[in-house]
Chains A and B, each alone.
Chain A
Amino acid sequence: MYGWSGQVLRVDLSRGSIAKEPLRADWARDYVGGRGVGSKYLYEMMDPTIDPFAPDNPLIFATGPLTGTNASCGARYMVITKGPLTNCITTSNSGGHWGPELRFAGYDLVIVEGRATRPCYLWIYDDQVEIRDASRLWGKGVWATEDEVRTELGVPDAVVASIGPAGENLVRFAAIMNDKHRAAGRSGVGAVMGAKQLKAIAVRGTGAVSVADSRGFMEAMWAMKAKLKASPVTGQGLPTYGTAVLVNVINEHGMHPTRNWREGQFEGADALSGETITETRLVANKACFACTIACGRVTKLPEDAAAKFTVTMHPRNWRIAGEGPEYESGWALGSNCGISDLDGVLKANYLCNDLGMDPITMGGTVAAAMEMYEKGILSLKETGMPLEFGSAEALISMVERTAYRNGFGNELAEGSKRLCDKFGRPEFAMVSKGQEFPAYDPRGAQGMGLGYATSNRGGCHLKSYTISPEILGIPHKMDPTAVEGKAEITKLFQDVTSVVDASGLCIFPTFAIGLEDILPLLVTATGIPYTLESLLLAGERIWNLERIWNFRAGITGKDDALPKRLVAEPIPAGPMKGKVNRLAEMLPEYYRLRGWTADGRPTDEKLTELGLPALDAQAFRERRDRAMVRVEQEEGSTPQEIAEAIEKAFGAEGYVCRVAAAHDRARIDATSPDAASVTVTAERLADRHVGPSLVLPRSRLVVEVGAAERAACEKVVKLIEVALLRGGG
């Protein structure tokens, strides 16, 4: 198998078991990798309605076929799980060196299931994998954790992805950090890791990532590199000023959200701009693995600022260099809270990195609290300190309190939606599907509003970055205030971005290259004859898979919405004065282009076309009944044969049964007589030898069938049991 490593590492923390299984080649082909394959595994493995903090919510780390190659920016891995902030499927992306190291160790995916009874961390050294005790590390910040893990293991080259105190304390927007400053930031993936009592995953790989056609790959890679170098964005803007180069650009367009999105321009924006950071705080550029752009900013606080803002619960030496602020974190912790003190923002950013939190949601939540404080909805009694717009002191104190859930921080740790709902003012939460928006006001760029509203993981700029055509003019300039053509470009960007995320590339090269440049890389790496059409179809398939996952979790077309402020309150001043987002005009066309119903439900025709299971229960039932007949004919076979037959007949759904068949004992329950799903309890006896504190000898696997199919499903399990009794297993 070229392109992919072909191996999946499955770790069950409840039982303390570690297993390696082959990567499903058909899934890899259809979903490319990374975000796509990870979402597919999540879809097949879990019941989307369960609590995100439940042990049954798997945490999937997925790389793509280009992760670990020398294709520019081929550094990315994805974390896929059910997000505690949104209750949607979440796909958080991070760079650095962790993803490639996982590839060199020989794995495409790491799937973490269950929950350990005490803090632990995972150590992957090529094919040797162990679960180690992390009691000593629990409570420590990300930076200290990484250094201590490396010291303990005695492997200085190990790359560590870990959570900070925020993840341990189940802050709903905790991040998973790697290389100290790189974050799989959004939707609270770190809290899921914290709920599993998993502090870190350390990886060291000495193996190789191979491509099918070396010469072709190198040619495509050089062509890509040349384009990146020639582009004004990836060749000059990002390397010189980092992502914060956008601060002045977006502010001048009047769509740089200020003071909880009340205004579109921030008077103090220049102090937070990439130009100012580069002139006054920059130490060096830093690249992720194989990146030829190097947008990362290593910065340092000036001597006098290191002591300026008191950090009480989390003392550390601020004289060392850290990273940030990026455009998003600088905006969220700066402009959105009305703060123009760069050192305050920098320190809050470092704190977020070390404590392991998403600065976008952190800033958005503090801004919402500041507005409620200003309006008198919150008082000193609740907050414990004045929360005024522009106060860096308040921000830093709140960041720290949030991570430790101390005082008012306990409310902030729930995110702005839950905070504002609690105090009865949901209109101050600038969220979609519960997730805070990033730094582009959709009242000034209509397409961005559609992207925010329809994103499968809530408010997010990384799934459809229409700022590119609307403001930057890449690949062609569109009028940001018009709604015409925005549904089409949003759908296209969403599909293309899904493929980029699945490939293992960063999203930034797409400023300079298109899908037609990524195509030869994927073809030569994997040896699979993808075409532009098949890749776009794969992107659409990934998007629709996430969509139906959300539908099964209870997130429907009604949730494709923007807060009242963005659709009814015009921007008060600046170039975009008087503008609102006209989501209602774009949404019907978007649904039509997607092939969904008028209320945003994927139709069975569309899903069939994409090779996805139908949302409609009837079609699902028919397939299953057909499969039952096939399986009955197989009676008397070994469990392996039965499992294969089930899988063949059921297709993807059979995967769950296959897992059940791999266990020693299987039982089937319905949660209630008319339940929509039944539960297969599978027991594996072979793992009994694992130390007693880590054993939980049961895992619950959910097969999605109606109550009517219960009998049929029971038959399957009986067959498995019969075969096991015959000594096959």
Chain B
Amino acid sequence: MPQLLKIIPEKCTGCMQCELACAFVQVGAFQPSRSVIRVHVFDELAQYAPYTCFQCEEAWCMTACPVNAIAINPDTQAKVVLDNICVGCALCVIACPFGTIFLNPGTKKAFKCNLCDGDPACVRSCPTAAIEFAELDGKDWGVGPWAERINTNYAEALAGEER
């Protein structure tokens, strides 16, 4: 079973070390705008949710790409962008339901999480172990318990509306 990023938002303190590490392995400098992991801050709830490419089993970015520039790395099972094939049409960016694939404004190529070839920098840098590199089947997108809670909240909200 492939190892994927398992994110535990409850442990996150919003320090952005993962964003800094991610940007650093890509551009060799501290530039969060180039990170492919992003921490979303829910300010008034004091909740922080790092999110990045879930390496979907049914990857829409791959389906959308007209030139087959997104391939699966046989070692890590990560979906990776092949720079020499990518034509920068941004169809993958539009297709991704999670907004986790980006277009580099400089090179006009798509870029996304490639699991750092099996040694993710975000996992190493997280001071509270809110990101784990764990064996997952990819179907629960690595956010199992959290997704469940969101669903509960959603159900409650619906119930509240009905009342």
For B9-36 the 0/1 string (1 means CB < 8 A from A) is 0000111110011011001111111100
B44/A321 in contact, CB under 8 A: yes
Known: A70-B21, A210-B29, A214-B28. A292 touches B15 (CB 8 A): yes
Are A292's CB and B17's CB within 8 A?
yes
What's the minimum C-beta distance from B36 to chain A, rounded to whole angstroms? Answer: 14
Residues of B within 8 A of A285 (CB): 13
Q: Does B68 belong to the interface (CB within 8 Å)? A: no
Please determine whether B46 and A294 come into contact, CB atoms closer than 8 angstroms: no
Say whether A70 contacts B31, CB under 8 Å: no
Within 8 A of B (CB), among A599-621: none
CB distance from B115 to the nearest CB of A (A): 20
Residue from A180, A211, A283, A294 within 8 A of B15 (CB atoms):
A294
Q: Are A298 and B46 in contact (CB under 8 A)?
A: yes
Nearest-CB residue, chain A, relative to B46: A298
Q: Is B128 an interface residue (CB 8 A)?
A: yes
Contacts A70-B21, A284-B46 given; indicate if A209 touches B31 (C-beta within 8 A): yes
A-side residues, CB < 8 A to B, are 68-70, 97, 104, 180, 205-211, 214, 218, 225, 229, 283-292, 294, 296, 298, 320-321
In the complex, whether B45 has a CB less than 8 A from a CB of chain A is yes
Q: Are B15 and A289 in contact (CB under 8 A)?
A: yes
B127 lies within 8 A of chain A by Cβ = yes
Residues of A within 8 A of B32 (CB): 104
A225 — which chain B residues lie within 8 A by C-beta?
127
Chain A residue at minimal CB-CB distance from B127: A292
Write the chain B residue with the least CB distance to A321.
Answer: B46
Q: Which of B118-135 contact A (CB under 8 A)?
A: 125, 127-128
Question: Which residues in A have their C-beta under 8 angstroms from that of B45?
Answer: 321
Which residue among A208, A292, A320 has the maximum number of chain B CB atoms within 10 Å of its CB? A208
Known: A70-B30, A104-B32, A209-B31. A290 touches B20 (CB 8 A): yes
User: Which of these, B24, B33, B34, contacts A70 with CB under 8 Å?
Assistant: B24
B43: interface (CB < 8 Å): yes
Q: Could you tell me the distance in whole angstroms from the C-beta of B131 to the nearest C-beta in chain A? A: 14
Cross-chain contact A70 with B46 (CB below 8 angstroms): no
Distance of A240 from chain B, by nearest CB (Å): 12
Question: How distant is B124 from chain A, measured CB to nearest CB, in Å?
Answer: 9
- Scan residues 76-113 of chain B and give those whose CB is less than 8 A from a CB of chain A: none
In the complex, the chain A residue whose C-beta lies closest to that of B23 is A208
* B47 sits at the interface (CB 8 A): yes
A-B contact pairs, 12 of them (CB 8 A): A70-B17, A70-B21, A207-B33, A210-B30, A214-B24, A229-B127, A284-B13, A291-B13, A292-B17, A294-B13, A294-B128, A320-B44
Other than the given A104-B33, A207-B31, A294-B15, 6 more pairs (CB < 8 A) read A70-B17, A70-B20, A206-B31, A218-B24, A289-B15, A321-B45
Q: Is A70's CB under 8 angstroms from B44's CB? A: no
> Which of A104, A210, A214, A284 contacts B47 (CB under 8 A)?
A284
What distance in Å separates the Cβ of A296 from its nearest Cβ neighbour in chain B? 8
Q: Are B125 and A70 in contact (CB under 8 A)?
A: yes
Binding site for A on B (CB under 8 A): 13-17, 20-21, 23-24, 27-34, 43-47, 125, 127-128
CA distance A471 to B142 in the complex (A): 46
Q: Is the interface of A mostly helix, strand, loop or mixed?
A: loop
Q: How far is the CA of A321 from the CA of B46 in the complex (A)?
A: 7
Closest Cβ–Cβ distance, residue B13 to chain A (whole Å): 4
Quick check: B16 and A68 within 8 Å, CB to CB?
no
In the complex, A211 Cα to B46 Cα: how many Å? 32
Q: How far in angstroms is the closest Cβ of chain A from B107?
A: 15
Partner of B13, one of A68, A229, A287: A287
Chain A residues near B16 (CB, 8 Å)? 97, 289-290
User: In the complex, what distance in Å separates the CA atom of A410 from the CA atom of B42?
Assistant: 37
- The reply to whether A290 and B15 form a contact with Cβ atoms under 8 Å apart is yes
The 5 A-B residue pairs with the shortest CB-CB distance in the complex, in nearest-first order: A208-B31, A287-B15, A292-B127, A298-B46, A206-B33
Report the bound CA distance from A214 to B45 in whole Å.
36
Most buried by A among B14, B15, B125: B15
Evaluate contact between A208 and B44: CB separation under 8 angstroms: no
| Chain A residues closer than 8 Å to B24, beta-carbon distance | 70, 214, 218
Docked pose: A284 CA to B27 CA in angstroms: 32
Docked Cα-Cα span, A180 to B44, in Å, equals 10
Contacting residues, chain B, for A206 (C-beta < 8 A): 31, 33
CB neighbours (8 Å) of A69 from chain B are: 20, 30
Tell me which residues across on chain A come within 8 A of B28, comparing CB atoms: 210, 214
Set of chain B residues within 8 Å of A218, measured between Cβ atoms: 24
**Once the chains bind, are A208 and B46 in contact (CB under 8 Å)?**
no
The residue in chain B whose Cβ has the minimal distance to the Cβ of A204 is B33
In the bound complex, how far is the Cα of B43 from the Cα of A211, in angstroms?
31
CA distance A287 to B17 in the complex (A): 10
In contact, B13 and A290 (Cβ under 8 angstroms): no
Neighbouring B residues of A287 by C-beta, 8 Å: 13-15
In angstroms, Cα B32 to Cα A214, docked, is 16
Give the chain A neighbours of B23 by CB distance below 8 A: 208
- Which A residue's beta carbon lies closest to that of B29? A208
Q: Whole-angstrom distance between the alpha carbons of A294 and B128 in the complex?
A: 10
Cross-chain contact of B17 among A180, A207, A290 (Cβ < 8 A): A290
With CB as the reference atom, state the residue of chain A lying closest to B47.
A284
Considering the complex, give the chain B residue whose CB is closest to the CB of A68.
B30
A residues near B30, Cβ cutoff 8 Å: 68-70, 208-211
**CA of A298 to CA of B14 in the docked complex: distance in angstroms?**
12
Q: Which residues of B contact A294 (CB under 8 A)?
A: 13, 15, 127-128
In the complex formed, the residue of B with least CB distance to A210 is B29
Chain B residues closer than 8 Å to A209, beta-carbon distance: 29-31
> How far is it, in angstroms, between the C-alpha of A290 and the C-alpha of B16 when the chains are bound?
6
Which residues of chain B have C-beta atoms less than 8 A from A211's C-beta?
29-30
For the complex, what is the distance from the CA of A288 to the CA of B48, rounded to whole Å? 12
CA gap between A290 and B13 in the complex, in Å:
10
CB contacts (< 8 Å) of A289 on chain B: these are: 15-16
| In the bound complex, CA of A296 to CA of B15 (Å) | 11
User: In the assembly, what is the distance between CA of A486 and CA of B69, in Å?
Assistant: 67
